[in-house]
Structure 1
Amino acid sequence: MSASLRRGLKSLPSSSRGVVALLADMPLAPAQAATPLLEALDRDATAAESRLGEHPEHRVAFARDLYSEVTVLQGDQGRRAHLRSHAEIVRLITSDPGAVLGSIDDRTWRL
């Protein structure tokens, strides 16, 4: 995952102020799922993470200030470890339980 995120960040125009990262195995994620994360960045958050209760979800947003740090992450857990190490700058966004997004990797997922 970190390789895909790194490639995506490097392809952004220099004018981008932030980015929302979603997993590719969640193809039915509605665009509005990113709205609370983008609003957090607009309110001067450096990073935002979507959570359902105490559980982190796979939607995050990073301000441009973090691009250089994010591009050196390694492995599937790199992003999560990075957010934990910078907990003071991460705004936690509570997800609507009815808007939980399924993953096509989950055996219970149905179209």
Structure 2
Amino acid sequence: MSRQNQKDLADKFFGKRDTENSVDFEIAFAALLATAVITYPISNAEWLGKLAAFSVLTITLVRRIAIASPYAPEKIIMKRTIWVIEFATTVCVIILLYSLSEYLSSIYGISEILLFSELC
């Protein structure tokens, strides 16, 4: 089966058949992720969390506009922005894991780097 014929994970999970529903899932997930990253920033670099959250939300918005606009080259925009949204989402997840390791470090007195490596 070629890569073009495979469905996205969101499509498989929710049984959706079109790109618009997949992007709607991305919007909900991006909002949750951005809210969590801004709510629980890492102590040394709060700006990094804000930048990552803003990036996820911006790219998700661009993808949604591409779907909604009849004049936008939908397939090109979706193809070119997928790696950006994957990267920004990965950064957000790493920030959340590091934030959790900072919190657990303050409770248990264990090195946050050690906890972070265990969480990953």
Query: Please, what TM-score do these two structures have when normalized by structure 1?
Result: 0.27
- Of structures 1 and 2, the one with the larger relative CO (CA 8 A, separation 6+) is 1
The structure in which a higher percent of residues are helix is 2
- TM-score of the superposed pair, with normalisation by structure 2: 0.25
Task: Point out the structure with the larger strand share.
Answer: 1
